[in-house]
Each structure stands twice: as structure tokens, then as C-alpha cells.
A and B are shown apart, each in its own frame.
Chain A
Amino acid sequence: MSDKLLSITGLSAGYGPLRVLHEIDFSVAAGERLAIVGLNGHGKTTLFRAIMHLVGWQQGSIVFDGVEIGGTRSLGEGRRTPGIVRLGVAMTPQGDAIFPGLTVKQHLDCGAYTKASWRDRALRRDHIYDIFPQLKALEQAYVGKLSGGERRMVSVGRALMADARLYLIDEPSLGLAPKISQRVVDALIDIGLDGKAMVIAEQNVALLSGKVDRMIGMHAGHLRGDVGHVDLS
């Protein structure tokens, strides 16, 4: 499994006495675009947060690019998150964790956490404006005052600023009008993935079917569709 960018074995995670994920086994190869579909409340967001160390407690191994970032842990949420981000994992959380008082330009600058990306942040910003043309006009606007779709674009753009190897996009179409969510998803699909991987958690299967390499279902904390699957043809 050395070619796998991310491989998760036996991951259980939860909040307090509630266990949300039940021993998940899951892996992503480099160059793969993967979608995890399922209803709300079944553990897609918890899976992403477990990778980023933001859940209440977790057990099981998560190996990213040969480095073990999982392990048994309880409490201290978020203490190791900056470290994991700097290893090369970028997450766009559900509901975009934006900074209400900063402008779009400052948001994108926040995303450039490595020295190299900070140095040519203007170039990278322009690249993001190519992907999301609407943001160019809103460069100096406070993100707290933008609409949902624009915030989503800022959030995704922020994750693209530094050279992350693994992109975890959580519910890109949540709360957006169909046209705008289509635009956001199209932009996500257009992003080239050489040596990188992207995992999108989404409730709306129709938006992503046919555009991703693999689709896995998640139900009640268990992954289905990738486990012991028998060909129905």
C-alpha cells in the first residue's frame, strides 16, 4: 500500500460517549478524485475532522504519505491540526470557517502558510482568481458580508493557496443555490491532480456522479460500496 496517499485502518471516532465512526477502513491513491456520499449526520464530516484531529476522541491509524498522523487521542481538539495542515492536508470545512473581519485578499493570504507560497502569494492569488472570476472584483470586500456562494469560493480558494497534497472538501454545495453549487463543483473538478488527491464529501449525488473516479457511500458511520463489493453484472 505504499503508493496510497492516505490510508486509514480501523478508525473509530466520536464525541464524548457518542461513537460516530465504527472502524473505518479507507484509502486514497495519488491522482484520485473521490467522493463520499451519504446523508447528514452519518459521519462524513466526522471522518474529515478525524483526519484533521478535530473530533472529541479517535482511535485507529491514519497514514498520510508514509507519516502516521492518527493514533489514539482524546481531548485537546485542534492541538495538532496546524501540524497536520503543514504536512500537506487542506480541508474546506462544512460551513466555511471564515474570518468575518478580514478581506478576501487577506483570507487567501492566510492560506499561504509555507514560506514559498507566501513569497509568491500574488501569483497564487491570481491563479485563484482565474478559477473563481467573481472573487477578483471582491478582493477588498469583507468576507463576513459576502453571500454564501462567494464565501464558499473564498474558502475553497484559501485551501488551494499552499501546495497541499490532499484536499478534503466538506459539502461544497451546502446551502447554495443549484447554479452556484454547480459552479463550485465544476471548479473543483477542473483542478488538476498530479501527485495529489481530492476527497469530496457530498450529500447531493447527482452533482458529482460521473465526474469523480470513485464514489463511496457512508451510512451510520460505516463505509459501504468499497467493502467486499460483488459485481452485479
Chain B
Amino acid sequence: MDAGLVVYALYLAAIYGLMAIGISLLWSSVGMVNMAHGATFAIVGYAAYFAAVWGQPVAKGLLGAAGWDMPALAVFIGLVAIAAGALFGIVIYLIAFLPIHDKQNFAVRSLIITLALNLATVQTLLWAFGPQQKALPRVFGTGRFAALGMSIRVDQVVTIVATTLLLGSVLAWLRHSRKGLEIRAVMQNAEGAALCGISTRKTALPIMMLTGALAGLAAVLLSQNVFVSPTAGVTPLIKGLTIALLGGLGSVPGAVAGAVLIGFIEAATGAIPFLGQRYVLFVQFTFIVCVLLIRPRGLGGLLDETRE
């Protein structure tokens, strides 16, 4: 087990953590399971691809001489990804949340609608762009560098650092800002929050934009290794859901812990000779089944702020 593997595991954990935290956060604050995350993934991938296609010559022309073109392009693609993810979050808000959030049977119906949105988006992308995969330029760093006596991939480190910073700031924002306070109030008692002048609809919108943006960032970071295609979001959606459930739905520390564990398992399974990539899902699911049998509510258990 070398450091390269550890970094790879953390890299995977960072990406899956972005998805899982988005799902957990949305469930605990709004009471909705977002199956359309996979669609966000795919759409953001295409948006980033087109942004890269358009932006690469521009960046080269403007900043190519100084050598800043790649980082600038990286930032640009990142911003486009976040914006596209937030935009799709607004779409999900308008279709799956707003019409039915105070009606009967909201949890099941929002599940169905987001599932339908997922399927529809994937099929539309298939129909529009065909099933061929496209590759994003490797803007987040190429090559390796030597550290601790081993060679580590630059883009993985960049991903890990960027994700940690971003997630840290998001969680700090939730804990300390006024909007975060409103969101937590709505999470715990919707009627009490309404009596304090806090509207559920007005707090759900930033949350959905936020989770969409997180998924978008995850899409762009992962597409360094995985190609952009309409079905790119299926596996990350399943992984995100399973990690969110593994960590206890609604528990953000649980989602982080689950993401780290699953990341390590995936890296380790890929490295073990007689298992290989084909067995990754199998091993992960076996692990999850075992954990759920021991702790039926996932790793996070019941915290004060979770919703049933």
C-alpha cells in the first residue's frame, strides 16, 4: 500500500463525499431524496466540455505566454460547472419541490419525480449527443510530483485540497451564517420556522442550488478520469446514495466517514490482483450490507439534527 494508493483513495473519497453530502444535506433540510443527481452529473459534464472547447483557445491566446492558461481554464471550467449544477438545482426545485412540498406523500412523490427527471435527462442527452464519450482537457494538473519518496498525481491532490476547502467553507457557512441558521431551523420544525418569518420555500432554493453546485463540481473533478457521457452519472449517483445511507441519511459527518471508507475500499479492491476493477461494486456493497446489518441506521446514528 503506497502513498499513491492512499492519495487515490482520498481523491475518490473527496468526489463521493461531494455527492453524498449533497444528498444527506438535502434530505435533512428539505425531506427529499434527490435521484436526479446523476442527471446533474451528466449535464454538468457536457456544459464543462463545451466550456472547455470554447475556452481553451481563448485562454491560450490570452494567457498562454505566461503559462497561466491551464489554471485559468481550470478555474473557468470549475465556475461553469458550479453554475450549471446550481442551475439544474433550480430546475429540480421548480419541478420536484415547489408544487408538492406541502402536499401529501411528499417524500415518495419527490423521489418519483427526481427519478423521472434523471431518466428523462439521460435520454435527452443520449438523443442529442449520442452515446459517444467525450474527454475534458486535463486542466487540473497533469503529471506527477515527488513527495515523501513516492510519485503522487497532481490532479488528485488538487482535487482533494479543493474539495476539502470547499466543503469546509460550506459547512462553516451552514453553522455560522444567518441563512444557515434559517436552514437548520426549517430542518427541525417547519411550522416554528414559519412563525419566525422563515419561509420553507425560500430556504429550500439555496440548498438545492448548493447541492447542485456540489454535484457539478464533483462531475468536473471526476471527469478527469472518467469520460463525459450521458450515463456518466449513474454510478456516482448510486455511490452517492449508498454512501449517504451508509453514513446515516441526514448526517454530514457520517457521509464524510462513509465516503472515506468507500474510497479506501475502492482503491484497495482495484489494487488487489485477483479482484480488480470488476469486483469494486461487489465488494463495496458487501461491506455496506455488513455495516447496515450491524448498525441499521448507518454510521452516523441519530443526531439531534437529523430528520427521520
Contact = CB atoms under 8 A, between A and B. Distances in A.
B178 A144 contact: no
A85 B200 CA distance: 14
Nearest to B198: A82
Interface string B198-233: 111110000000000000000000000000000000
Contacts of B201: 79
Interface of B is mostly: helix
A10 B81 CA distance: 55
B189 A110 contact: no
Interface residues of A, number: 33
A110 to B, nearest CB: 5
Contacts, number: 75
A158 interface: yes
A144 B103 CA distance: 28
A78 B304 contact: no
B264 to A, nearest CB: 31
A110 B194 contact: no
A110 B182 contact: yes
Given A85-B197, A110-B196, A158-B196, A102 B102 contact: no
B196 A102 contact: no
B109 to A, nearest CB: 16
A36 to B, nearest CB: 19
B102 A76 contact: yes
Contacts of A76: 102
Which has the most chain B C-beta neighbours within 10 Å: A77, A102, A159?
Answer: A102
B192 A81 contact: no
Interface string A95-134: 0111111100010011101000010000000000000000
A101 B191 contact: no
Given A100-B304, A118-B178, A81 B195 contact: yes
Given A76-B102, A79-B102, A97 B191 contact: yes
Contacts of B191: 54, 78, 93, 97
Contact of B189 (A54, A82, A83, A97): A97
Given A98-B189, A100-B188, A101-B184, 19 more contacts: A78-B200, A82-B198, A82-B199, A83-B199, A86-B197, A93-B191, A93-B192, A97-B191, A97-B195, A99-B184, A99-B193, A102-B181, A102-B188, A106-B181, A110-B181, A111-B196, A118-B178, A158-B196, A162-B197
23 contacts: A76-B102, A78-B102, A78-B194, A78-B200, A79-B201, A81-B194, A82-B197, A82-B199, A85-B194, A85-B196, A91-B195, A93-B191, A97-B192, A97-B195, A100-B188, A101-B188, A101-B303, A101-B304, A111-B196, A113-B196, A118-B178, A158-B196, A162-B197
Interface of B: 102-103, 178, 181-182, 184-185, 188-202, 303-305
